[in-house]
Structure 1
Amino acid sequence: MGFGQGAGFLLQGIRLWRTRTRLMALGIVPAVIAMILLTAAFIGLVLVLDDLIAWATPFANDWADAARSTFRTVVFIGVLAGAVMLSIVTFTGLTLAVGDPFYEKIWKQVEISLGGEIPERGVGWIRGALDGLVLVAMGLATAVIVFVIGLLPVIGAIIGATLGLIVSGRLLAGELVSRPLEARGMDRAARADLMRQHRGAMLGFGVCVQACFLVPFGGILVMPAAVAGATYLARQALESQPS
């Protein structure tokens, strides 16, 4: 499976909005809660960021006005880029943590529609919450990397944002796809091995999900579709395994 096929799994999930509207609407509830919390935190960061940067960079106070303004603007952009990447990954982690019962209904219906062996239950709320926190921690590390790269002159912000999109997209895909695999009793090593065999599809799926999350309110509508799409991807990966 390649990049394009991975993106196609997200499209399959999005199509469920037309055929299973009520089911997909369940996934909006935890997404809205997570979005409200993160939007408030992001607005708060923007309001205090200028003062925070001035406090954190006292060595620039004696620079010429143009140099100081340029430097702090670059830092501002770098912090915002990192914050955006962190908020997207955090959004997924929080949404999965609080919405596991909702999303279990979605992936189970996808499993039923595909037939074959169907897990009786998901990973559970506690395990889902712990996995969500791990995803947030990895998102924080990604945000720090994006911030540091963003400090590079001229191209830093572009490279940082692109790298952040790819890395965080891969993290999102790994977390989403791991749910239906773990429900089948696959341990971390087995899941990682299976996903390595389908790197292109994982990247295509994750980057497309991440890109949708960058659109205002996109995360709210796409999150249920991403859960469904991850189930399609997981089933295809499992069925492609040699018997």
Structure 2
Amino acid sequence: MRDLGAGFSYLLKGQRWVARHGKQYGFGLLPGLITLVLYAGALVALALWGEDAVAWATPFADDWSSPWGGLFRGFLTAVLFALALLLAVLTFTAVTLLVGQPFYEALSESVDRDVAPDGTAPVSGLPLHRELWISARDSLRILVRAAVWGVLLFALGFVPVAGQTVVPVLGFFVTGFFLTEELTSVALQRRGVELRDRLALLRSRKTLVWGFGTPLGLAFLVPFVAVLLMPGAVAGATLLARDLRGEEITEGTGPAGDTGDTGDTGGAGDGDREFTR
């Protein structure tokens, strides 16, 4: 239970950090807004032409007597849209992180410098195209794992009673775990931690991970909320990554009353401090 509270506290501290660094928060919103527009456009297109696509894919239902053909195609259209929404929720974070790699990389480095005792941050030293390739590759692997869990939970959903009570709760914890993996990858990739090692690290502290990712996953069900919380989620995930790696976290820096309008990244020992481990 203590780790659950600690994980949630990192989520709150990340939001507080970006609130104190307004310029970085503003830049951090851009990738989420771009992704939201792309996803909204795709979902609107699906809503407008999904029924036509289903009709094209099911020519065998043309000769079915009324109302069975219409009911069948209506059911498939609804399932198609529901699956698209589920895919959007599962992939939103990964796509946003990919689109905003330079923004979130800089934000995560700033958080590291702010809370590190020596005021430094690990750097990957890799060119941007290499970082983007690694991020896309690892996100695809995580998506496959998440899809396997999704199929399993979907099948368990047909179990009487448990399928309507226990399985949805399990689904939120699974979502929280994979969401945390995606977010902490920004900080852990800079430290050269490979995907397999990242997953092992997260599994070693599951309750800490759930405390961070599960409430965030619930909030991310509302698309615009996801956009607003993404910068702070990356900041909080950086703090979480330091905890998982056993790195010291000093109290956050910044002049007393600083709102971050100057975009200052802070440094160890600067005035009023905010974070505690």
Q: Does 1:131 align with 2:127?
A: no
Structure 1 residue 176: Cα displacement: 1.4
Structure with greater proportional helix content: 1
Q: 2:199 corresponds to which letter in structure 1? A: A
Q: How far apart in 1 are the matches of 2:45 and 2:234? A: 30
Query: Residues of 2 paired with 1:38 and 1:141: CA distance?
Result: 23
Structure-1 residue corresponding to 2:46: 45
**Given the two structures, how large is their TM-score scaled by the length of structure 1?**
0.78
Given that 1:78 and 1:146 are in contact with CA atoms closer than 8 Å, whether structure 2 keeps it comes out as: no
Residue 223 in 1 paired to residue 230 in 2? Answer: yes
Change (3 A) 1:167 1:221: same
**Which position in structure 2 is the counterpart of 1:118?**
121
* Alpha carbons of structure 1 residues 81 and 139: separation in structure 2 relative to 1, 3 Å: farther
Cα shift readout 1:38-72 (whole Å, capped 9, x = no counterpart): 1111122223444555676767x969969x85x87
Give the Cα separation in 2 of the matches to 1:146 and 1:78. 16
In structure 1, C-alpha distance between the alignment counterparts of 2:213 and 2:54, rounded to whole Å: 32
Matched, 1:184 2:191: yes
Q: 3-state DSSP class of the match of 1:239?
A: coil
> Runs of 5+ in structure 2 lacking a partner?
249-277
1:235 aligns with 2:238: no
- CA RMSD of the aligned region, Å? 3.7
Q: Point out the more displaced range, 184-193 or 131-140.
A: 131-140
Compute the TM-score of the two structures, normalised by the length of structure 2.
0.70
- 2:274 matched residue in structure 1: none
Residue 213 of structure 2: which of 206, 210, 218 is its match? 206
Q: Could you tell me how far 1:149 is from its partner in structure 2?
A: 6.2
CA contact (8 A) 2:14 2:233 kept: yes
Structure (1 or 2) with the larger CA radius of gyration: 2
For 2:101, the equivalent position in structure 1 comes to 100
Cα pair distance change 1:170/1:82, threshold 3 Å: farther
Work out the CA distance in 2 between the residues paired with 1:131 and 1:226: 19
Is the contact made by 2:105 and 2:186 (CA closer than 8 Å) also made in structure 1? no
Where structure 1 has 5 or more consecutive residues not aligned to the other structure, the ranges are none
Structure 2: how far apart are the matches of 1:46 and 1:139? Answer: 25
